[in-house]
Structure 1
Amino acid sequence: MTTAAPFQQARGRLKEQAPLAARSWFRTGGAADWLFVPQDAEDLATALRQCPSDLPVTVLGACSNVIIRDGGLPGLTIRLAGGFANIETDGDGLIAGAAALDSSVAETAAQARMAGFAFLSTIPGSIGGAVCMNAGAYGDDLSTLLDWVEILTREGTIQRLPAPALEMRYRHSSLPEGSIVLRARLKAHGAEDPATIQQTMQEMRASREASQPLRARTGGSTFRNPEGHKAWELIDAAGCRGLRHGGAQISEKHCNFMLNTGDATSTELEELGEMVRARVLDRSGITLHWEIRRLGRPLSPASPS
């Protein structure tokens, strides 16, 4: 993509060679060929309808569980902001835009006396990403709340899908390929006293603060838990707690977290993750699968597994 001509009808902001590292929680990565911030859903639909079908399109949310590779993101990168972060009460539930932070949704639900949302207060991401990966914590995940999701297809058509159509399971949902989450309706598990909900959220946050390196440059859980196992236990048993590679390190506090100790590159982070996967496989025979999404062009080869 060498010209902005196909997007002349779009009303949002379009920028060429937009730096992305500052948006990532790891604070690493290259630039987007083009970064588009749409004004609203119709603006985004217009842009997608104008997009060449072979143009890569990447959607970025809170960038909490993402490694943006050092070669940057090809094609068009979309960042949802503004009205895409709206949250509104809707009878026995909430309708949240894709850019609404999970923690903000939890707080809004608590104020509205809605039960079942407390776990979202501990997830450092946005609702769009939570739908895509069926985000969860403390024994709950988004599938327990989701009523329906509104998506925009790659062809620029808005569709509403009921929750069962997504076939949600552990860290997975079956969204149509190339679709973009616009908003979702989340149904409460009944009513509860706001003070009780706040207390639950405070306890969850304190537990997370005590066990995870939240004040470091990290991307959350690195690998999914294999069935019947905990990823951190496998990593610890393989001798990877505190393992370093360049400026990247496996956390001493919680060894399913990778850290940028200050000068890491995305390449070093990804290579460290592959080192851990290899050591765990060698010791236990179990293959760890990435939970962190790795996006864009690497500057050096890395396993796509």
Structure 2
Amino acid sequence: MLALTMGEPAGIGAEIAAKAWLALRDGGPAFFLIDDADRIGGVPVERIASAGEAAAVFPRALPVLHRPLPFPAVPGQPSVATAGAVLAAIEEAVALAKAGEIGGMVTNPIQKSVLTAAGFPHPGHTEFLGELAGTGVPPVMMLASSELRVVPVTVHEPLARAIARLTPELIVEHARITHAALVRDFGIAAPRLAVAGLNPHAGEAGTLGHEDQAIVAPAVRMLRDLGIDATGPYPPDTLFTAHARPTYDAAICLYHDQALIPIKTLDMAGGVNVTLGLSIVRTSPDHGTALDIAGKGVASPDSLIAALRLASQLADNRRKRA
């Protein structure tokens, strides 16, 4: 059983949750929604009092742990007043996962600007979940699809700052967490990691920048000394081609867009955000709140469905290893 959080109430979370239930009710992974049950439309809804009731309800209705909002959400118009409910849903799902009442959690997209205005101190879900369910290592973002898995070493920060912050140790830390997650959660016995270069042509022997020789290559050597099958640095413009992708299990990328552009180009609908390094399983759709189409009935549930399916698979793998 999985818990799905409400996400931004003014966004598409409730709509895609209902559509995901329609797609999965006849044999897909079962889930329940933590949300205001009164705002879920288009499908049968049944309030539940605990996670344990959800499995019996799921075939006939979308199970909802009813958590009323302070006032009705208006599609496309986020409000700081709902920030507390959004964060409480995440905290409740984490608590249920840590208690073993659910196999994992899936988070609907949040509106970071609204949470920040309400005093939320974290850049996003990943860092908040690290605080709630950390394991002593930094939480790491992975984007995964059927064709590609990518991990950005630096995430939501200006590119100049991201490059200035790169060190061999930072790359190694992210790669080690990725390697461990590929073994434990994805069931890959001997993961292969490809490390992207920073500069065009991976620096071309120093003629196009020194970072690949001074920062990235030493990180690859350190990883190999640790017994991890890591190779690189590879020129970023060829690392994600159809010929290259089958040669590795995950690509370690050095900044946000280097990782997210290829996976969103390849599979925007099927991409899933996975948080590595947590004590629990957490996935999320690889898209935002889509305020511009909220309330119009046109939002696609495909990425949420993929996130639910992957969370179920990861939870099963964890149980088997345990």
Q: TM-score, normalised by structure 2?
A: 0.28
More strand by share: 1
Relative contact order higher in (CA < 8 Å, ≥ 6 apart) = 2
Q: TM-score, normalised by structure 1?
A: 0.29
